[in-house]
């Protein structure tokens, strides 16, 4: 019999696994001017912080072949990414951090950054108007059958 960890599939509604959360961190948390970290870069970054976690071990963790790493290794990994240990085990914390990561990724997008920078020059009531317009455009896009790139707050 083959389980979700062996096929790479997760039951609908199930929380992400430790490996999936680690993979999300590696592919999402990186400087804006570069692509995601490689396993080797993560391993080296952790080594520079005084702990040893090999690239092979990181890979095994991401793929579920090492589901129970030591607390010391987990603390070293989350320190590298700048998140708390709770991110790995608390669904609410993970969701909040994932939303912050998505926001930071959106800000990296030149068009989003341009809108934000221009909005900073506006009075608060005009910024609220822009926010309403963007929300309405998102609703229109969703109704037209073209969902946006990321879930909006309050979506389930």
Higher pLDDT: 41 or 99? It is 41
Tell me the pLDDT tens digit for each residue of 7-33: 556 677 788 899 999 999 999 888 877
Domain 4-89 class in CATH: mainly alpha
Report the predicted TM-score, pTM, of the whole model to 2 decimal places. Answer: 0.64
Classify residue 135 by burial, with Cβ atoms within 10 Å: 0-12, 13-18, 19+: exposed
Distance (Å, whole) CA 66 – CA 53: 12
Domain boundaries, the chain: 4-89, 109-143
**Mean pLDDT to the nearest integer, 119-131:** 87
pLDDT at 5 over 70: no
């Amino acid at each position: 019999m083959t389980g979700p960890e062996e096929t790479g599939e997760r039951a609908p509604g199930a929380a992400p696994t430790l490996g999936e959360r680690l993979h999300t961190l590696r592919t999402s948390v990186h400087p804006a001017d570069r692509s995601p970290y490689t396993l080797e870069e993560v391993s080296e970054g952790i080594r520079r912080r005084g702990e040893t976690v090999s690239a092979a071990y990181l890979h095994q963790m991401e793929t579920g072949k090492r589901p129970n790493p030591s607390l010391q290794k987990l603390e070293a990994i989350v320190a590298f990414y700048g998140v708390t240990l709770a991110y790995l085990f608390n669904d609410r914390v993970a969701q909040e951090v994932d939303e912050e990561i998505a926001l930071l990724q959106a800000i990296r997008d030149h068009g989003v950054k341009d809108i934000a920078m221009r909005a900073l020059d506006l009075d608060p009531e005009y910024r609220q108007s822009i926010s309403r317009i963007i929300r309405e455009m998102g609703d229109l896009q969703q109704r037209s059958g073209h969902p946006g790139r990321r879930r909006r707050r309050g979506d389930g």
